[in-house]
Amino acid sequence: MKVLSIGGVSLLFFGISYIAGTYLKIEKTAFAFLTLASLLIPVTFVGIGYFQLFGEWLSLFGEGKYILGVIATLICFPLYTWIAIQNKNRLFIWLSLFTLTVMTGFVLAALYVPIDVFYFGMIIYNGLLLAGYHYYKSDQRVMNFTQELPLFTQANLIISTLLMLVFFQNHLLYSVNILLTAVMYIAIVFVYNRKEFHIVFSLLFVYGMYQLLENTFLQPLNYLGFALIGIIYILLEDRIADGFLKKVFRVTSGIVSGLAFLYISFEGLVVRADEKSIVYY
């Protein structure tokens, strides 16, 4: 009865919204009731899961809880998208994008993949959003969505990055995820023209390379890898036309190469003075 009451109120608000907009021509009132009705749908699914109306397995605490989340978001996402298109409303555009992100998270969680694979999937998802913006930013049919994508993607990627830096299990996947995230940030620099993100790219790239070279099967070649990091920035400088970024990557290359030299020298002369290494020399 509690769930039916919430669902019934949601349907009632949908009805009031339709009457207010179609017959009474009160647009603001119609939209207000439409907003309340649509926001009650996730609450209804939470109630269904809490009271186990779909069974113990498909409940908030059952093994199928992520499937329940997928079902809820599959219903909410097209609804929020339709409302956003019909009303050209920024709130529902963000709700649509947020619901899509949550749905992606539920799909990955439903597969019970390791946490590193989960964040790998979220990075790929952020990359697809970036690609979608690049290819459809001039499409008038989705212009309202593409205008919001730069800010949404940046916020989304920042949250994913912070969580990934805290929670990880496998060093190899962790380093790959960090490097892919660095690629996403440099893509933001060029696609969204947000030059300040080159700082995040540089920090994540160096950190990701360190994790890859120090904690994986590439550890025997770590000195060689550290020495080559600066060259990658030189290659980036050679490939871009922007004068500011060329200067930034040139300076970054010098700083990274200098730090690599100091690190290799310290390791070779102090920590591993008695070890013979062809790679070091």
Average pLDDT of span 165-180: 84
pLDDT tens, residue by residue, 210-255: 888 888 887 777 777 777 777 887 877 777 777 777 787 788 878 8
Q: Which own/partner pairs from 2-5 qualify as long-range (CB within 8 Å, at least 24 positions apart)? A: 2/47, 2/51, 3/44, 3/47, 3/48, 3/51, 3/53
Helix, coil or strand: residue 167: coil
| Model confidence pTM above 0.85 | no
Looking at residue 233, its pLDDT comes to 79
Tell me if 83 sits within 8 A of 38, measured CB to CB: yes
> What token pair was written down for 192?
């969204």
Tell me if 58 sits within 8 A of 106, measured CB to CB: no
Q: 136 or 220, which is more confident?
A: 136
Looking at residue 4, its pLDDT comes to 87
Is 16 a residue whose pLDDT tops 60? yes
CB atoms within 10 A of CB 131: 12
Residue 43, Cβ density class (10 Å: 0-12 exposed, 13-18 middle, ≥19 buried):
middle
Is 138 a residue whose pLDDT tops 60? yes
pLDDT tens, residue by residue, 69-124: 999 999 999 999 998 888 888 889 999 999 999 999 999 989 988 888 898 999 99
